[in-house]
Structure 1
């Protein structure tokens, strides 16, 4: 032990200071640039009230014992570190307050020790304040779903919009692979020239909804189409919708409720199209819901895909019946697909991606971004943090009326 810390130990023993230093207060990682730009700090009165509320919530949950639900256990894990850091901060403040009783100390050596101790406490307090604000931004108060439907639909722009819808589907499925999520493309309606009219992907992962929820909206693309001979720039749109799938919502399909028809597939496909009844059409008699599939040469495979499409539609109907706000979410995300409703622009001419919702949301290297790896993940994380910052500000400011 250094001479300084031996002296501090003696000082604390002699003066009987209440000393509750914990080594974990050194363990905070450096703040990200986004966190460093916060317009509030752990010293703010409203932040203190908010932290006190979190502390009460934490200990109330801890006393529930056997009555805890899985969501309660998740919340306890979330609050554990921030409450621990907050309590350590309270101890440091108590120790700093105790030093005020020695401000009139005459002994020169003792005055130097007190000065050095104040500096130690101030550094600890600074680190704790930074760590607390970072942990507050890490708290996720949004709803959690184990699965969701991810929809992509071509908007304004005709065939060019459909082509870009296909590009986005490839980008996002690459991103799902990058994140290691389980997913399945349960419906994809392709256009005649290889684009995409609409696609629905079922994603099953507990982290997917919180990650993707801000991707919903109008995605605008500006580029010169391959078919444009005059070099004129086209502006088109694609809409993305994120539809949560609550765990307690499912659609049980009984065979007796189905009318299944087969027919010959239409479109390109050679002689096989004209000779095999591979296309499948299913009518759900109780609701009148109709789905069709002819994407595969196998009638069995098309029937399987059609049943999944039917289940998706029935689940959406249940969601609408149970909670209209969920479907309103899709409407809010998608809007009318107009070009001026964009949340993000993909400009091929300038090799630029701009997310219009966050400061500093412009990136370059569009080709790399469309690969759906780290660049997309970085932008999505920026959106998540910005949204949490806005929510945190709102919650902290709501405490201005006083702690409950």
Structure 2
């Protein structure tokens, strides 16, 4: 009898704790929210025909509501504690308890699946492309070498994900470093993956030029700016000041005899771009115009994002060594993402820098945490619809 009382008391405590967890299926507010989604879903099934936006919402709700209906069907198969207590036949009661255990395990699995579907609902912003920028930060030449490694990692990651991308601007150093690079990634899924990479990345290692073996700390930043489908930038010829000059750097006699380098100043904004990577003036002009367009789009998007507190400055921080979202420690062969509470440290740093599955797995964890926080915030402010609206449905 004492053992049974203790078991009942523990079960009550578990239910009481679970009810305070906003993402527990024992939480009344979550249950009410799920029911409101179910009501919305069946209303949309009647009204969505011929309306693309309503049909899209219906499609997104479909997996959540299907999971909810399966969950409720499983619940109906579980024998209540009252019915178990009323059963006098011990063998029958044992069989009923065994069935309950089976259905309880199925319920837990269904709850996990439903939570994943629900978390996906709390996502995601769709943009056809993103502007992706890498900038060297504090640390001089070592920071620029690290920025080049990040550039290589992310372009490999774009290839790993099967995304198309094009480079608009890239400034390198004589020893193989990178001052900055600007790319556009053209894929509707890119923003929801790359958004978590925006911020200051810190590297700790012994530079090749360091004779005393002292560990240096340097930084680089990643900026991710979504590009909506309706963003258009018109560049009028009268707003441009175009200059030509002889290209500098390697290239033999050609760079010393031909005015192939192009510099373009956009007079209304003051933005200046240049290109000398191509051998012909015409091609350099095309490249420079693309870079100018990318920078003007960036400027336009930054203005729009300012209202959402997601500006480029907020992503980059001040590029100080003590500001970081992730640390790459070469001495200890580890990568630590400072936003992940548990399990945020990965080993095999060279493998991580290949930009493949290790990076993808870490981003998936960040996605999950972001979705959980978004759903919790939604539930904190969400209010159930008036009863008369529910009755109409």
Q: TM-score range by the shorter chain?
A: 0.7 to 0.9
Shift in CA distance, 218/395, structure 1 to aligned 2, threshold 3 Å: same
What secondary structure, in the 3-state scheme, does the structure 2 residue paired with 1:341 have? Answer: coil
Question: Aligned-pair distance for 1:403?
Answer: 6.0
Q: Is the 8 A contact 2:22 2:379 kept in 1?
A: no
What secondary structure, in the 3-state scheme, does the structure 2 residue paired with 1:339 have? Answer: coil
Question: Aligned-pair distance for 1:65?
Answer: 2.1
The partner residue of 1:51 within 31, 34, 41 is 34
Give the alignment of 1:5-404 within 5 angstroms.
40-66=23-49, 68-70=51-53, 72-96=54-78, 104=86, 114-115=96-97, 117-325=99-307, 328-358=310-340, 359-399=342-382
Shift in CA distance, 301/326, structure 1 to aligned 2, threshold 3 Å: farther
Shift in CA distance, 58/270, structure 1 to aligned 2, threshold 3 Å: same
Q: For structure 2, which runs of at least 5 residues remain unmatched after alignment? A: 1-20, 387-393
Q: What's the TM-score once normalised by structure 1's chain length?
A: 0.82
Shift in CA distance, 41/328, structure 1 to aligned 2, threshold 3 Å: closer
What secondary structure, in the 3-state scheme, does the structure 2 residue paired with 1:332 have? Answer: helix
Query: Residues 5-61 of structure 1: CA distance to partner in whole angstroms, max 9, x if unpaired?
Result: xxxxxxxxxxxxxxxxxxxxxxxxxxxxxxxxx984222222212212322333344
C-alpha RMSD over aligned residues: 2.6
Q: Is the 8 A contact 1:320 1:327 kept in 2?
A: no
Q: Is the 8 A contact 1:243 1:326 kept in 2?
A: no
Q: What's the TM-score once normalised by structure 2's chain length?
A: 0.84
Question: Aligned-pair distance for 1:103?
Answer: 5.7
Shift in CA distance, 228/280, structure 1 to aligned 2, threshold 3 Å: same
Give, in whole Å, the separation in 1 of the partners of 2:26 and 2:206: 53
Count residues in correspondence.
365
Comparing 39-48 and 77-86, the one that deviates more: 39-48
Shift in CA distance, 329/108, structure 1 to aligned 2, threshold 3 Å: same
Query: Residues 65-99 of structure 1: CA distance to partner in whole angstroms, max 9, x if unpaired?
Result: 246345x5444333211211112222333444689
Give, in whole Å, the separation in 2 of the partners of 1:354 and 1:119: 40
Shift in CA distance, 117/338, structure 1 to aligned 2, threshold 3 Å: same
Query: Residues 105-159 of structure 1: CA distance to partner in whole angstroms, max 9, x if unpaired?
Result: 5567765665555445434323322322232233342321110100110010111
Give, in whole Å, the separation in 1 of the partners of 2:277 and 2:191: 28
Shift in CA distance, 333/320, structure 1 to aligned 2, threshold 3 Å: closer
Comparing 363-372 and 105-114, the one that deviates more: 105-114
Give, in whole Å, the separation in 2 of the partners of 1:105 and 1:392: 42
What secondary structure, in the 3-state scheme, does the structure 2 residue paired with 1:306 have? Answer: helix
What secondary structure, in the 3-state scheme, does the structure 2 residue paired with 1:183 have? Answer: strand
